[in-house]
């Protein structure tokens, strides 16, 4: 009986984690693997193929003045970045903004999304 209860607790803990409890360390590792090729995220970091992402949550889309955004992105970007918008963007940038130059990026797997967003939110 105790065994079963412990098993159930583990199961509940696992489900809770999958339901969105995000892991900043895992998000950092995923960022290094999947984003750092094109983006820096340190304060005043340089732009690469994509703009610097320091403090991106709460930032106006398309507002890094030293970065040359694509015409497609500039004409659509009228929002401030929040968790939901970032989730849609990194899942499929080309769906959110057809013609964006980040469209070459295939998008992140569902399991990495909330971790990466938690990491982005921590870099401000
Ligand atoms: C192949 C290069 C590449 C990769 C990989 C990439 N990006 Fe981008 N990213 C870009 C480019 C280029 C832009 C600018 C888009 C435009 O101007 O159309 C951009 C724009 C963005 C923006 C909008 C920034 C702003 O100032 O509004 C965010 C947020 C972003 N990327 C996050 C990410 C994250 C998070 C990852 C990893 C999951 C990632 N990107 C992976 C190239 C990339």
**Domain of 105: which CATH number?**
1.10.760.10
User: Is 52 near ligand 1, meaning CB less than 6 Å away?
Assistant: no
Give the pLDDT confidence score for residue 119 in this predicted structure: 98
Instruction: Give yes or no for residue 4 having a pLDDT over 60.
Output: no
Could you give the C-alpha distances from 89 to 38, 45, 51, 69, in angstroms and in order? Answer: 15, 21, 14, 15
Instruction: Give yes or no for residue 31 having a pLDDT over 60.
Output: yes
Could you give the C-alpha distances from 109 to 88, 112, 115, in angstroms and in order? Answer: 12, 6, 11
Does 1 reside within a domain? no
pLDDT in tens, 62-120: 999 999 999 999 999 999 999 999 999 999 999 999 999 999 999 999 999 999 999 99
Task: Considering only residues 12 and 43, tell me which one the structure prediction assigns the higher pLDDT.
Answer: 43
Does 10 reside within a domain? no
pLDDT in tens, 7-22: 544 444 444 445 457 9
Does 85 reside within a domain? yes
User: Is 108 near ligand 1, meaning CB less than 6 Å away?
Assistant: yes
Largest Cα span, the chain: 63
Pocket test for ligand 1, best of 54, 102, 118, 121 (most atoms within 8 A of CB): 102
Does 3 reside within a domain? no
Give the pLDDT confidence score for residue 13 in this predicted structure: 46
**The total number of structural domains that make up the chain:** 1
Q: Tell whether pTM > 0.85.
A: yes
C-alpha atoms less than 13 angstroms from C-alpha of 4 in its C-beta half-sphere? 1
Range of the domain at 109: 22-122
Q: How far apart are CA 9 and CA 30, in angstroms?
A: 28
3-state percent breakdown (helix, strand, coil) of the chain, nearest 5: 50, 0, 45
Q: Which atom of ligand 1 is nearest to the CA of 107?
A: 38
Pocket test for ligand 1, best of 41, 50, 67 (most atoms within 8 A of CB): 50
| Angle 95-100-101 from CA coordinates, rounded to 5° | 130
């Amino acid at each position: 009986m105790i065994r079963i209860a412990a098993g159930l607790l583990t199961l509940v803990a696992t489900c809770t984690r999958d339901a969105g409890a995000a892991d900043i360390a895992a998000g950092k590792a995923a960022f290094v693997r999947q984003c750092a090729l094109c983006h820096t995220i340190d304060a005043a970091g340089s732009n690469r193929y994509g703009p610097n992402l320091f403090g991106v949550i709460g930032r106006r889309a398309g507002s890094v003045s030293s970065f040359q955004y694509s015409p497609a992105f500039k004409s659509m970007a009228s929002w401030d970045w929040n968790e939901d918008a970032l989730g849609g963007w990194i899942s499929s940038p080309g769906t959110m903004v057809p013609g964006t130059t980040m469209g070459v990026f295939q998008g992140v797997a569902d399991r990495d999304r909330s971790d990466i967003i938690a990491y982005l939110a921590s870099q401000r």
